[in-house]
Chain A
Amino acid sequence: MRGIYIHIPFCLRKCPYCDFYSVTLDRSLSEQYIDALIRNFRADKYRGLCADTVYIGGGTPSALPAELISKLMEGVYKNFSIAENAEITIEANPCTVSDDKLAAYRASGINRISFGVQSADDRELKALGRLHDFDTAERAIEGAQRAGFDNISADMMIGLSGQSERDVLNSAERLTALPIRHISAYMLKIEPNTAFDNDKLKASLPGDDKVSDMYLSLCKFLEGKGFYQYEISNFAQTGFESRHNIKYWRLEEYIGFGPAAHSLFDKRRLRVPRDLRGYISAPLQTELPEEEPFDERVEYIMLSLRLREGLDMQRLSALVGSSSAQKLKERAAAFEKHGLCRLSDGRVSLTPEGFLVSNSVILEFLCAVGLA
Chain B
Amino acid sequence: MGKEEVSAKKRRKINTSSSSDVTKQNPTDVYKRVVEFEETEAQLRPADRDASLFKKLCQDIRQLFADIAELKNKDNEEAKEKINAKRVEASLLLVALKKLNRLEKVRTRAGRDALHKEKQRVDSTHLLLQNLLYEADHLNKEVTKCLQFKSKDEEIELVPVEDFYINAPADVSRADITKKDEHQLQLARLEWELRQRRELAAACNELVASKDRVAAAIAAARSRLDALAPHLKDVLKATKPLQECLALRLDEKRDETRTASLLPPPLFLLYSNAYAYSDVLGSNVVTVSISGDEDDARRLEQLHNIDNDLVASNDSDSDADNNDEEQNKKKRHHRTSKLSKQEKAEAKKKEVLRKHPLNVLLSVKVPDGTALTLIFSYLLHLKIIVVKFTVAQPKPVTGVSAADVLNGHCILNELYPGDTGNDSPHPATAFVLNSVGISETFQYFISEVGRPYIWAQRMCGLDFMSLVVGEQNINKVIEPSRSLSITTVENFILTLKKRLKSRVELMRELQDLESGKITPAKGDMTCPVRLSGSLTQWQSVGWPEYSQSPSTNFLISEGLVTPNDLLYRAIITRQSAKLVAMVALRSDYPKVAPIFSLTLHWNGTHHSGINDDIRDIERIINTDWVSGGDNIHGCLSNQISKLLTCLDILLETSGSSEFPPDKVMLNPVRGRNRVKPYKYLKQGAGVFVQY
A binds B: no
